Amino acid sequence: MREERGEIVASQDAGSGPSGRAASVSRGACPSSVSGGGYPAIYERLERLRGSSPEERKAQAGAFLDLLECEPGGPGVAGGRREEIFREIERHGFYRHTPEELAWGSRFAWRHSVRCVGRWFWRQLEVRDAREARTMEAVAAHCIEHAREATHGGQIRPLVTIFAPEEPGNPSPVRIWNRQLVRYAGYAQGDGEILGDPAEQELTEWCLRSGWRGPARRGRFDVLPLLLSDAAGTRRVFEMPEESVLEVPLAHPDFEWFGELDWRWYAVPIVADMVLEIGGIRYPAAPFNGWYVGTEIGARNLADLGRYNLLPELAQRMGIFSRKECTLWRDRALVELNRAVLFSYQKAGVKIVDHHTVGHLHVRFEEEERRLGRPVTGRWDWLVPPLSGATSPLWARSYDGREYSPNFYAQTRAWETAL
């Protein structure tokens, strides 16, 4: 079946409705239901609509369809589709998205993501429809295939794989516990230190408790398995095959000794712990990715005090470490670590973007949103880079932090509700 393989969703024929029958399609012109208010009226509703009663869900679905109809170059809405959805909700309290609704809803979710500085590329998002995968084995297989397809030999593809939604009275059949499909283990040591990534200590413990043994010789960069659970609370671990995980060994354009540090990072950040909401329907398992901004790795993952905290080690090797903060040894080491990340990914042929370039692209994104009459949203603390922030074109800007639907939202960690 198409869904079992998780194929990329292709655009439907513009003249066909959900059942394949000929249907008129309304697109690119805002519907009469918004009384000429266009995008401002739609977004006002998208902000305030919440809840899961049939009437609330009909209102959420209606606002999403209005958004589809207003979208320039979008799929529009087939004649009779609105009434069909409302009937489904009245009968079952739920409705099923068509492949095009799923694809455009996911793209809108990226466009609305206030913490993402890479939204200029939102139209490039491809969607794998895996809603029919309802066992842990099937979900794990799709996740592994997602990692392979997204990596694309280093030419990273923006991709989301969407699993079964929540339905009235029925939770999602499978939950992904991992923050990202690829992440490194964090092992608690007897002296209170963490070997590996401290941010993953809790998940690492759950993996070990669920049957994962880990490598015979534990290290700082051991790839964690997938940890999944079903509706009954049963947990299973699934190893990520080596061929599905591309890692980049870190080197430096000037320091020949840098490779001796044996530091590395993985190629693709595939976020797996957020819920995708589209038109009142929630998808608790919907791993998605773009590609890395260099500072995400070099200024956060590897440098944060609560993560790998590698700056003191690097400064020692550079011969600049000092107990006097006024020497700015941290700043010097931080710049060189970020140079190493960009250099290494480019040398390996893995797609990455620097924080200056992506900031200018976000300005273009903002300009397009304003031109089309859509609200410009964002979180300043996420959009401004953690390195040389004052040099970013985003530094002096302010942002509206409202999170409109469709969107990727935070959800309770799986282990906080574990049986």
Question: Annotated active-site positions, please?
Answer: 116, 119, 291, 296
- Which H helix or E strand runs over 264? strand 264-266
Both structure tokens of 310: 């590698």
CA distances 86 to 93, 143, 178, 295, 342, Å, are 9, 33, 35, 45, 50
The dihedral region occupied by 59, where left means phi > 0, alpha psi between -120 and 50, and beta the remainder, is alpha
| Residue 219, number of CB atoms within 10 A of its CB | 13
Distance from C-alpha of 227 to C-alpha of 206, rounded to nearest angstrom = 8
Distance from C-alpha of 185 to C-alpha of 202, rounded to nearest angstrom = 9
* Tokens 């918004």 belong to residue: 34
Residue from 307, 324, 156, 129 nearest 221 by CA? 307
Q: For residue 391, give the DSSP letter.
A: G
Q: Omega before 75 cis (within 30°)?
A: no
- Beta pairing, strands 174-176 & 247-249: unpaired
Q: 289 forms bridges with which residues in the sheet?
A: 159, 270
CA distances 373 to 41, 63, 101, 215, 322, Å, are 11, 16, 22, 53, 52
Q: For residue 164, give the DSSP letter.
A: P
Distance from C-alpha of 401 to C-alpha of 389, rounded to nearest angstrom = 19
Q: For residue 133, give the DSSP letter.
A: -
Residue from 246, 230, 208, 243 nearest 349 by CA? 246
The dihedral region occupied by 382, where left means phi > 0, alpha psi between -120 and 50, and beta the remainder, is alpha
